[in-house]
Amino acid sequence: MPEFEVNETIPFEESWLENVHVNLRGLEASVKLIVSSCEVTSDANKVGFALKALTLTDLTTLAGDDCTSNVDRLCIRACYPFYKHSITNDSNEFLKKLHVAAVCVYPTKVKDAYDTLKRLNMLDKIQIASVATGFPTGLYPLQSRLDEITYAINSGATEIDIVIDRSLVLTHQWKKLYEEVVEMRKACGNRAHLKAILGIGECGTMDNVYKASMICMMGGADFIKTSTGKESVNANLNVGLCMIRAIEEFYRKTGKKIGLKPAGGVRTVDDSIQWLIMIKETLGMEYLDPHLFRFGASGLLDDIEKFVLSKC
């Protein structure tokens, strides 16, 4: 497998968690101001944003009835989102060349994804992400979670979406959470990027979301991710801005740029545009790249496809 440039673990810094007070109303006001400051009105601009969102998507299937055929279809669609449609306009030929950033599957389905992408000669273009470490709860023995990471990587995964143990967040066991993330970073090594799922709907408070974000970045996460998609509350712009503030502060302290992945709840073109605007206005245009920003979604591509084709 190829080796990747990854975020290195840094020493645990408890002082970074002191005097953290996230004002929810302040976040809400900031989000409204940011999103309204860059309204997208023209169809051309909306199509541009929609296609950008497509290239930043981790196309996901995490169903209990996933099987080889499901994953095969997912991978084909990831490679050729518009392949079912006859696009004859020369100006739209580029649509046939677009693809998503990654596919995301359970560890036991990684080999299926690998085989399909290899058959399609797309292994160098589309990443294979796998939700490991006792997804979606994280409430499994640490060794079994580490074994899942190893299994997924050995099967062909190039990205591991770990899920943290939210009980450690709720009981403020920050050092233990840090130590677990460090072990997961070690299990990934430089063979796979690590995306840390916070499960924000089960973290209790925005203060906890901020602190958990900092801990995961200290521990070596390449991305911090909002949700598993299985919680009652998933990705929303308010919590996204909270995590962005943590990313900004981590960069100020270390010079390291950590990615963000909203997952769960981003279903429409309009949803994705709001996220892209917020990223552009806070972290900057550089972040509108698969190396630093992803959408975790199963239904977003449907809306992008419908919208783009209606305008072409």
> What CATH number does the domain containing 135 carry?
3.20.20.70
Instruction: Classify 172 as helix, strand or coil.
Output: coil
Catalytic residue numbers read 225, 261
Q: Is residue 156 part of a domain?
A: yes
User: Residue 1: inside a domain, yes or no?
Assistant: no
Average pLDDT over residues 186-205: 97
Number of residues that this document lists for the chain? 312
118 in any annotated domain: yes
6, part of any domain: no
CA 197, CA 200: separation in Å to the nearest integer? 8
Contacts of 260 (CB under 8 A, 6+ apart): 223, 224, 225, 240, 243, 244, 247, 279, 283, 287, 292, 293, 294
Judged against a pLDDT cut of 80, whether residue 94 lies above it is answered with no
Whether 67 is covered by a domain: the verdict is yes
Q: Give 39's pLDDT tier (boundaries 50, 70, 90).
A: confident
What is the average per-residue pLDDT within 156-161? 98
Domain that holds residue 48: 14-311
**Model confidence over 3-17: pLDDT tens digits?**
889 999 999 999 999
Q: Give me the mean pLDDT over the 174-198 stretch.
A: 98
210-251 tens-digit pLDDT = 999 999 999 999 999 999 989 888 899 999 999 999 999 999
| Residue 186 within a domain | yes
pTM of the model: 0.95
CA quadruple 137, 139, 141, 145: dihedral, nearest 10: 10
Mean pLDDT, the chain, as a whole number?
Answer: 94
**For position 84, what pLDDT does the model report?**
65
Helices (H), the chain: 24-36, 43-55, 68-79, 110-119, 142-155, 166-170, 174-188, 206-219, 237-254, 269-282, 300-311
Nearest residue to 300 via CA among 37, 17, 54, 112: 54
Give the residue carrying structure tokens 């299985």: 230
Structural domain includes residue 2: no
Number of structural domains found in the chain: 1
**Is residue 7 a part of any domain in this protein?**
no
